[in-house]
Structure 1
Amino acid sequence: MDKNTLISSFGKWVSPINIQKLSEQVKELKQDYYTKKLTTEAYIKLLLVAQLLEFKSLEEMSDALVDEDLQKALGFESISASQLSRKNNQIHPLILANLFLDLVWKIQRYHYKNGKNMPLKIIDSSTLPLNLTHYKWAKFRKTKAGVKLHLRLVFMDKDTVYPEKAVITTAKEHDRNQLEVLVDDQEAMYVFDRGYVDYERFDRMTDDGYFFVSRLKKNAVIREVYTFSLPDDCHVLSDKMVYIGTTQNRTENVFRLLEVMDTKGNLLRFITNRFDLKPEEISDIYRSRWAIELFFKWLKQHVEIKHFYGMSETAIQNQIFLALITYCLHVLIQLEMKSKKSLLRITRWLKRALWKPAYVWLRKFDGRASP
């Protein structure tokens, strides 16, 4: 009998989670001592349902347990919002961070198996606003609070994009401070925006063998060393070898500066330490940065990170990691089924077939109708 006949679509979706490894870490961190009903495993499953169905509150989760299929998946018939709140504030974020990284590793195995080329790794951040009255620990302006998700996104191609590393801080943390944390792989090409411009770090990255493309600020001072000739049909306006910065604060290494015009007629300046690529390739690499903007947009529209279930720093971090885990589970089923279907369509099918046998959901990937 097909194994997918025996499990629900939800069971199939969460199957990449290594329960044994999860249990070992829960035991090590003593997370389920004296827990009778809401174990860490049950908590994760319930919160993943909440992310998938975009529940707005713990009360909505509690009410959802009238569903007998959800009861069966969790192993209990009811749970109060107060019990959920306590667990949400007690779960160590390290557990969910490690679960996220384990799923990332499983995604990467598909790439190694298929011999993919050097990936682009796009770095950016997104600020998630919070109510200052309830989140005073996250204050960053006189009347505002918020947290910031610093993210490294792997861009293999337009169909394969996934988060690889995440750091969660309060919103007042400057993006530049996380650059060294997010840059740790010499077998990649890093792409980031003007918020990460730091001449000293650019020198260190170059000396340490890391490659990058960034957008340079308009007021940046440059000293030209050499101008490369360009073919007539090249859309790049100029390609130069330069030092960046003033006499008092100038890079030690020479960099490559390209100027291009965007579709709105604005002049863009790209800086890189790659001299072996064609100018159009450098331009196209930076334009791939749109993928992380789309990723943040997807998160805010299709999982629940706008309504937080708790007010502590722990609860906020747990919910963000659960959102990233949700995305990774979607990517894994997409890779397993070798599907070009969008994550949005895959998610819609899953929601409709959540408690039906897994084959009902999986048949949609090859276009066959459900029985």
Structure 2
Amino acid sequence: MGKNTANKCSLPILGQLLSFIPKELFKQSVEEYQSDKWYKKVKAWDQFVFMLYGVLTGSSTLREIIKNFMLMGDKLNHCGIFRVPKRSSVSDANSGRSADVFGRLYMLLYDHYKDFLSDSYLSLKINGEVDPGTVEIFDSTVVSLFKEVFKACGRLPLDGRKKGGLKAFTKITLSERVPNFICLKAAATNEKVFLSMFELAKGTIAVFDKGFQKFRQYAEWTEQGVYFLTRMNKNAKFSILEQMPLEENCEVGVQMDAIVELEYTCGPTATNRRTKARMVAYIDPVSGKRLVFLTNLMDLKAMTVCMLYKNRWTIEPLFKQIKQNFELTYFLSDSENGIKTQIWIALILNLIFTVIHKMAKEAEDFATMVKLAAKHTASYVNLLGFLKMSSAQISDALDNLENVQLDLFGNNNGGTFQNSS
């Protein structure tokens, strides 16, 4: 065996990506939703592979995907595909099969890889006080659609035409890189609706934007031992109970630290209720903007509260990364299930490439890595080995045409195409 055989693989790059999906997890998801019960021509796996290829390569039509698969020939066997169906059959699967099966697959994959994805460099306590593993950041992003499949938010344009939109409510742990909770709703859905869709463990710190402001939820979290941190809305009703002293030369930028009483209505009779919270006012030394934070973290330094909220912006690059690297501009279906399926598969691809990126020790830029895989889906080059190599090593390795067995993650975390024995 030549010295560069480690740069060759028995699977094409598309098959290598699919090998990060353990077959038992995919089977579990399909069985939970009975996704193959009424489909004979296009099974859930077939649909998943076709759509994954389309999202990765930026295909704009199902016809384009089907014809590309026809050209791949025997390489399809390595991807678990043994027959290329008609375009209409894939279209029917997109519109008829519930997208929840792929949402469930995403969460199973997250559970499978979450320990590996936890970043040790993010384990240091924020300002020496807060463990990033206890911080949950959540926000929502809107995916614009070409037609009114889901109700969009905002006012009606002057021309009377309004595209649809889908809002992806997302939650991540500060010490990780991928979402641990996702909910897809019409873009017109109010952010406050999402707050009651998940449970937070005692001791968790929820950090979010002021668009989610809901005083009644804050009161419930306080009773449950869950902490929150957000910005104060201008129209919030509150009264200051006590001004806290500021530490000299330690709270640079902190203008005020106070205990306040929040007023909100509760129940069908709109009964007035009150709950206590902490308000910290901060002047950004760069922009000069005054920011007012609201929290029930009473024992932390005021600057720690400000630094915690600053970390909320770590979720924004995640949204940008997904939208820029995976096809969410041209939707391959005009049905609700088809659109949601494409978004779930984009999230699954983002998770897989995040795993590969970390395995490759971030030797290559994330976007470049995705583009390389997208343009060479039929290549038998070992993607992970290739990403780790220098330019000189790559040139030497491409001269060797031997194939070797792929072993990306070892037997303990085997992929879809490993033998169960």
**What's the CA shift for 1:170?**
1.3
Q: Does 1:31 align with 2:40?
A: no
Q: Percent identical across equivalent pairs?
A: 20
Task: Flag the 1:161–1:251 CA change in 2: closer, same or farther, 3 A.
Answer: farther
User: Which residue of 269, 278, 295 corresponds with 2:318?
Assistant: 295
**Per the alignment, in what secondary structure is the counterpart of residue 143 of structure 2?**
strand
User: Which residue of 99, 123, 128 corresponds with 2:105?
Assistant: 99
Query: CA deviation digits over 1:76-95, x for unaligned, max 9?
Result: 46433212111111222221
Moved more, 22-31 or 300-309: 22-31
Q: What's 1:75 paired with? A: 81
Task: Flag the 1:188–1:50 CA change in 2: closer, same or farther, 3 A.
Answer: farther
Q: What's 1:152 paired with? A: 171
For residues 253 and 93 of structure 1, the distance between their equivalents in structure 2, rounded to whole angstroms, comes to 42
Q: Which letter does structure 1 place at the counterpart of 2:15? A: G
Q: Which letter does structure 2 place at the counterpart of 1:204? A: E
Q: Which letter does structure 1 place at the counterpart of 2:247? A: L
Q: Whose radius of gyration is greater, 1 or 2?
A: 2
Q: Does 1:90 align with 2:96?
A: yes
For residues 28 and 101 of structure 1, the distance between their equivalents in structure 2, rounded to whole angstroms, comes to 13
Q: Does 1:282 align with 2:315?
A: no
Q: Which letter does structure 1 place at the counterpart of 2:313? A: W
For residues 354 and 131 of structure 1, the distance between their equivalents in structure 2, rounded to whole angstroms, comes to 28
- Aligned residue pair count: 366
User: Which residue of 326, 333, 337 corresponds with 2:349?
Assistant: 326
Task: Flag the 1:185–1:311 CA change in 2: closer, same or farther, 3 A.
Answer: farther
Q: What's 2:257 paired with? A: 239
Question: Aligned-pair RMSD on alpha carbons?
Answer: 2.9
User: Which residue of 341, 344, 348 corresponds with 2:371?
Assistant: 348
Q: Does 1:267 align with 2:290?
A: yes
User: Which residue of 116, 129, 137 corresponds with 1:122?
Assistant: 137
Task: Flag the 1:108–1:60 CA change in 2: closer, same or farther, 3 A.
Answer: same
Q: Which letter does structure 2 place at the counterpart of 1:162? A: V
Q: Which letter does structure 2 place at the counterpart of 1:363? A: F
User: Which residue of 101, 115, 119 corresponds with 1:109?
Assistant: 115
**What's the CA shift for 1:340?**
6.1
Task: Flag the 1:153–1:246 CA change in 2: closer, same or farther, 3 A.
Answer: closer
TM-score, normalized by length of structure 2?
0.77
**Per the alignment, in what secondary structure is the counterpart of residue 65 of structure 1?**
helix
Q: What's 1:311 paired with? A: 334
**What's the CA shift for 1:327?**
0.7
**Per the alignment, in what secondary structure is the counterpart of residue 138 of structure 1?**
coil
**Per the alignment, in what secondary structure is the counterpart of residue 228 of structure 1?**
coil
**What's the CA shift for 1:316?**
1.7
Moved more, 104-113 or 176-185: 104-113
Query: CA deviation digits over 1:35-87, x for unaligned, max 9?
Result: 55532112112211111111122222123224316634352464332121111
Q: Which letter does structure 1 place at the counterpart of 2:284? A: M
For residues 167 and 360 of structure 1, the distance between their equivalents in structure 2, rounded to whole angstroms, comes to 32
Query: CA deviation digits over 1:141-196, x for unaligned, max 9?
Result: 6543322111112321xxx5211111111122110010122452335322110111
**What's the CA shift for 1:111?**
5.6
**Contact 1:228 1:239 (8 Å CA) reproduced:** yes
For residues 106 and 169 of structure 1, the distance between their equivalents in structure 2, rounded to whole angstroms, comes to 26
**Contact 1:153 1:165 (8 Å CA) reproduced:** yes
Q: Structure 1: which 5+ runs fail to align? A: none
Q: Which letter does structure 2 place at the counterpart of 1:210? A: V
**What's the CA shift for 1:259?**
2.6
Q: Structure 2: which 5+ runs fail to align? A: 124-130, 266-270, 398-421
For residues 47 and 358 of structure 2, the distance between their equivalents in structure 1, rounded to whole angstroms, comes to 26
**Contact 1:256 1:274 (8 Å CA) reproduced:** no
Q: Which letter does structure 2 place at the counterpart of 1:260? A: I
Task: Flag the 1:208–1:102 CA change in 2: closer, same or farther, 3 A.
Answer: same
TM-score, normalized by length of structure 1?
0.87
Q: Does 1:8 align with 2:12?
A: yes
Q: Which letter does structure 1 place at the counterpart of 2:53? A: V
For residues 224 and 37 of structure 2, the distance between their equivalents in structure 1, rounded to whole angstroms, comes to 46
Task: Flag the 1:123–1:355 CA change in 2: closer, same or farther, 3 A.
Answer: same
**Contact 2:170 2:183 (8 Å CA) reproduced:** yes
User: Which residue of 43, 46, 54 corresponds with 2:47?
Assistant: 43
Moved more, 107-116 or 329-338: 107-116
For residues 274 and 366 of structure 1, the distance between their equivalents in structure 2, rounded to whole angstroms, comes to 47
Task: Flag the 1:237–1:269 CA change in 2: closer, same or farther, 3 A.
Answer: same
Task: Flag the 1:200–1:35 CA change in 2: closer, same or farther, 3 A.
Answer: closer
